Structure 1
Amino acid sequence: MDFDLTEEQSILKDSLDRLLTDKYGFEDRKRHMAAPEGWSAQMWASYAEMGLMALPFAEADGGLGGTPVETMIVMESLGRALALEPYFPTVVLGGSFLRFGGNGDQRAEYIPAVADGSLKLAFAQVERNSRYDLHHVETTAARDGEGYLLNGQKSVVLHGDSADKFFVTARTAGGPRDEGGIGVFLVDARANGVSVRGYPTQDGARAAEVTFDNVKVGANGVFGDPENGLPLVRRVVDAGIAALAAESVGVMAAMHALTVDYLKVRKQFGVAIGQFQVLQHKAVDMFVAIEQARSIALYATMMADSEDEEERGRAMHAAKAEIGRGGRLCGENAIQLHGGVGMTMEYAVGHYFKRMTMIDTTFGDGDHHLYLLSAGGGLFAAA
C-alpha cells in the first residue's frame, strides 16, 4: 500500500507548515491567547483563504472534496504549532454533522458559511454526569408544534464562547442512559434562552458552559432522526478522534524536537547532556512512541469514513488507547529531560504536554478506550 502523499497533499502540507512557521511562533501564540476571543481572527481568515475550512466538504456542497487524509495533514500541522483557533469544533466536528446528518437544504445553507470562515460551530455534548458516555443525555427536547423546546446544560463545550451555532444532543424519549431517544439539534448561540459562560482551559484554548432554557428549535434545526441520533453522534465523534490522533502526532513530534535541541545545548559537568547515554535512550523512547502514534493515527484516518460502525469504533478505541499511552510517555520524558525549565509558563514544552493531556481526555481517555477495545474483542475481532 502506498502511504506517500500526493502532489496536492504535499503542497497543502508545505503551505500550511510555512504559514504556521512564519506566523505562529510561541510568542505569537501567547499574544493570540491574550486576545478577547482567545485565538487569532487574522489566522482564521488565513485558513479560510487557503481553503482549509472547505477541505472536507463535497464539491457539490461548495467544498473542495477532500478526504480524511487532508484533515489529518491539517490537524498534524495545527498540533505542531499549538494553534488555538476553533478549527476542530467548527470544521471537523460541526462539519461532520453537516456532511453525515444534514439534508440538502441544511448543507446548502451552512456549508458555504463554514467554508468561508463566517460560521463557527461547536458541539455541546458533555454533561455533568455523562463522563465519557455519549448516550448519557439528560438535556431534553420536547415537541413544540413542528419544532422542539430544549432544556438542559452542557459542559466543556470546546470554543463554545466563540460559536455562532451549537450542535446539541438532547433527549426526545427514554431515560438518561438509554441509547434510543437521542436527537441532534442545531441551535443559534443568540437564541432566546441560551446562556454561555466561557473560560480558558488548561491548554490555553477556550471552552464554555452552555445552558438552554426553553430554547425553541424549528424543524430545520433537526439533524437526522430525532429519535435515533446516537449513530450520527458516534460517527461524528469517530471522525473527531481520528483528527485528534493526527493532532497528537504533531504535538508529540514538537515535544521531541524541542527536547532533542535542549539536550544538545544544555551542559552539565562541562559537556552537553545529550552525550549521556541514558538521556539518549529516553529520547529514543519518545521517537518510538511518535512512530507508533503516527501509524495508529494513519489507521484511524483510513477508517474515519467507514460505514461499518463496529469496525470504525474499534479503530478509534485503539487509536485513543495508543495515543494516550504514547502521549503521556513523550510528555513526561520531555518535562523530565528539560528539568525545571520544562515546568515554566515561559517555555513551550510544558504547553505541549498540557495540550496532549487535554487531547487524551477529549471523548474518553486512553484507559477508557482500552477497556472498550478489550470488551469488544480487540482491534480485530474473531470471526
Structure 2
Amino acid sequence: MNFDLTEERQMLQDSLRRFLRDRYTTPVRNEILESDSGMSAKIWEELAELGVIGALFTEEQGGFGGAGFDIAVVFEELGRAGVVEPFLDTAVLGGGLIAALGNDDQQAHVEEVIGGALHLAFAHGEPASRYDLNRVETTAKADGDSIVLNGRKAVVVNAEAAGMLVVSARESGDAYDTDGISLFLVPADAKGVSMQGYALLAGGRAAEVTLDDVTVPASARLGDAGKAFDAIEERVAAANVAICAETLGAMETATHLTREYLGTRKQFGRPIGSFQALAHRMSDLLIEMEQARSSVILAAGHLADDRKSRESNVSAAKNLMGRTGRLVAEDSIQMHGGIAMTQEYELAHIAKRIVMADHRLGDTDHHLERFIALSAA
C-alpha cells in the first residue's frame, strides 16, 4: 500500500513547513505565549491566506480538503513548529460542526472561518463531565420563539477570542442520554454570557463560561432539536486525529533536537551520542516514533468509516500517542539535561505540548477503556 502524500498534500506540507520555519521561531512563539491574547492575529491571518484553514474543509463546504489525511498533514506541521494558534477549536471543532449541521444562513460563518475573519470556540465540556461527550447538564428551554440557555462550561479553549460560541445544551433526557443534546450558535458578547479566562500550560488560552438566562432565537440551533450527539462525536474524532498528528509532529521535533544535541555535546573528548547507553535510548525512541506514525495514518485513513471502525481506530491511536508521547518527552529531557527545562530552548515548549495533548479530549486510560468497550460491542 502506498502511503505517500498526494501532490496537493505534499505542496501543502512543503509550503506550511517553509512558512513556519521562517516565521514561527522560538523567540516569536515566546512573545506570543507572554501576550495577553495568547495568539498572534497576524500569523493567523497569514496562515489563513496560505490556505491552511481551507485545507480542513471539503470543497462542498468552501475548502479544498477536509479528509483525515488533510487534517493530519496540517496538524503534523503545526505540531512540528509548536504553533499555539487555535486551529483545532475554530476550524475542526467549531467550524466543522457548523459545516455539518448548519442551514444556508449558518453556513456563511464557515466562509468567515476559512478566510480567517471569525474565531469560534466549542463550549461542550462541563465541570462534572470529564471526557464523557454525552454528559451535558446545561439546559435549553423553549420560550416562545426563543431558547433560554443556563449552565456552566469548563475549559473552553479560545473562548475569549471567539466571535461566536458553539454551545451544547440539553433539551430533553437525563444527564447521560445521547438523545436530547442540541447545539446553538451564541454570540460571545450575548447578554448573560460571562467568562473567566486563563492561560493554558502548553500555550493558548481557555475560559470557564457561565450561561445565565442567555436568550437566543430558535434559528440559532444547529440542525434538529436533540439530535446533535452524532455530529459532536464525529467532530471530536476528527479533532483527536488532529491532536495525534500534532503530537507526532512535536515528537519529530523533540527527537530531532535530541539527536542534534547528542551529536554536539561532548564528554571525555567525544560526542555523548557515541556512548552505547544513550545510543540505545535514542534508537528506542526512533522505533517508537515509527509505530506512532503508523497509528496516525491508520486513524486518519479510517475517519470516514462507520462509527465503530472510526472510533476504535481513533481511540487506539490516541492511547498509543499518549503513551509514546510521554516516553519521548521524558527521555528527550533526560538526555538533554538541564538545558531542556529553559524556556529559551525549543524543547521546553515542545515537551509541554506533547504531555498536555494526552489530556485533551480523552487521555490514555479513557481511550483504552473506550477501545475495549467498542471491541466488545
**TM class by shorter-chain length?**
over 0.9
2:73 corresponds to 1:45? no
Please report how far the alpha carbon of residue 153 of structure 1 lies from its aligned counterpart in structure 2 after TM superposition: 1.0
**Structure 2 match to 1:362:** 360
Q: Which of 350, 353, 356 is matched with 1:352 structurally?
A: 350
The sequence identity of aligned pairs, in percent, is: 44
1:114-125 residue pairs with structure 2 within 5 A?
114-125=113-124
Please report how far the alpha carbon of residue 95 of structure 1 lies from its aligned counterpart in structure 2 after TM superposition: 2.2
Please report how far the alpha carbon of residue 10 of structure 1 lies from its aligned counterpart in structure 2 after TM superposition: 1.1
Paired letter, 2:342: T
Q: Which of 324, 327, 335 is matched with 1:326 structurally?
A: 324
Q: Would the aligned equivalents of 1:159 and 1:207 in 2 still touch at CA under 8 Å? A: yes
Q: Would the aligned equivalents of 1:239 and 1:305 in 2 still touch at CA under 8 Å? A: no
> How many residues matched?
377
Please report how far the alpha carbon of residue 65 of structure 1 lies from its aligned counterpart in structure 2 after TM superposition: 4.3
Please report how far the alpha carbon of residue 231 of structure 1 lies from its aligned counterpart in structure 2 after TM superposition: 1.1
Question: RMSD across aligned C-alpha pairs, in angstroms?
Answer: 1.5
Please report how far the alpha carbon of residue 59 of structure 1 lies from its aligned counterpart in structure 2 after TM superposition: 3.0
Of 208-217 and 219-228, more deviation after overlay is shown by 219-228
| Gap runs ≥5 in structure 1 | none
Please report how far the alpha carbon of residue 60 of structure 1 lies from its aligned counterpart in structure 2 after TM superposition: 4.0
Misfit runs of 4+, over 6 Å? none
1:1-383 residue pairs with structure 2 within 5 A?
1-107=1-107, 109-306=108-305, 308-377=306-375
What's the TM-score once normalised by structure 2's chain length?
Answer: 0.96
| Gap runs ≥5 in structure 2 | none
What's the TM-score once normalised by structure 1's chain length?
Answer: 0.95
Paired letter, 2:346: A
CA distance in 2, matches of 1:57, 1:374: 31
* CA deviation vs aligned residue, 1:284-338 (integer Å, no higher than 9, x gap): 11111211111111111112233x1121111111011111111011011111111
Paired letter, 2:325: G
Q: Would the aligned equivalents of 1:137 and 1:176 in 2 still touch at CA under 8 Å? A: yes
Q: Would the aligned equivalents of 1:106 and 1:220 in 2 still touch at CA under 8 Å? A: no
Paired letter, 2:154: S
CA distance in 2, matches of 1:42, 1:296: 34
Paired letter, 1:26: T
Of 96-105 and 213-222, more deviation after overlay is shown by 96-105
* CA deviation vs aligned residue, 1:361-381 (integer Å, no higher than 9, x gap): 111101110111122227xx8
Larger RCO, structures 1/2 (Cα 8 Å, 6+ apart):
2
| CA separation of 1:145 and 1:45: change in aligned 2, threshold 3 A | same
* CA deviation vs aligned residue, 1:233-291 (integer Å, no higher than 9, x gap): 10110010011111111011000001111111112233211011111111111111211
Q: Would the aligned equivalents of 1:56 and 1:95 in 2 still touch at CA under 8 Å? A: no
